[in-house]
Structure 1
């Protein structure tokens, strides 16, 4: 099975879970890991700035990585997944949690 098919299966499962666990629109907490050096933190923040998101960052113990937590009100599970995909396509080396 290729990674694209696995990704789509993951997103379908996530969408079902989101519909089952929340009333939409709802607050959603995104978590990403990026390297501290480079533009990854700013790139992630820029993708959420127009949504009125509350963004917090926390550097790892050795300072090499930074976690970016984003709390934002999303319209529906499809919007949540679309934002995950947008981040993956636009931020090099990002890890979505």
Structure 2
């Protein structure tokens, strides 16, 4: 289970990413496949933006629409080299409006 984004309210983003890096290095043996999970509005443009971010990385993706069709959940298993790359990808995805990172 991934609790990396639990309770980040009020935290300085740089401190958060430093803490995240330490947790990643402590709990993962890079390079490895890393599971990203996202939820975002059901909009093909947002899905395209997500694909573009992971374009140069080996990954598999599974998507599922919510019951009412308003949202899409995406699970991406991406081969990453280190904690810095995991964080870089999270930062890029966070720039997509409306995406929730789990």
Question: What TM-score comes out, normalization by structure 1 length?
Answer: 0.86
The alignment status of 1:53 with 2:63, answered yes or no, reads: no
Which residue of 43, 51, 64 maps to 2:49? Answer: 43
Q: Unpaired runs of 5+ in structure 2? A: 1-8
Q: Runs (4+) of structure 1 moved beyond 3 Å?
A: none
Query: Whose helix fraction is larger, Structure 1's or Structure 2's?
Result: 1
Matched positions, count: 94
Q: Could you tell me how far 1:29 is from its partner in structure 2?
A: 0.5
CA distance in 1, matches of 2:78, 2:40: 19
SS where residue 66 of structure 1 aligns?
Answer: strand
CA distance in 2, matches of 1:13, 1:70: 22
* 1:94 aligned residue: 99
RMSD (Å), alpha carbons? 1.7
Partner of 2:89: 83
Give TM-score, length-normalised by structure 2: 0.82
Any unmatched runs of 5+ in structure 1?
A: none
Equivalent in the alignment of 1:34: 40
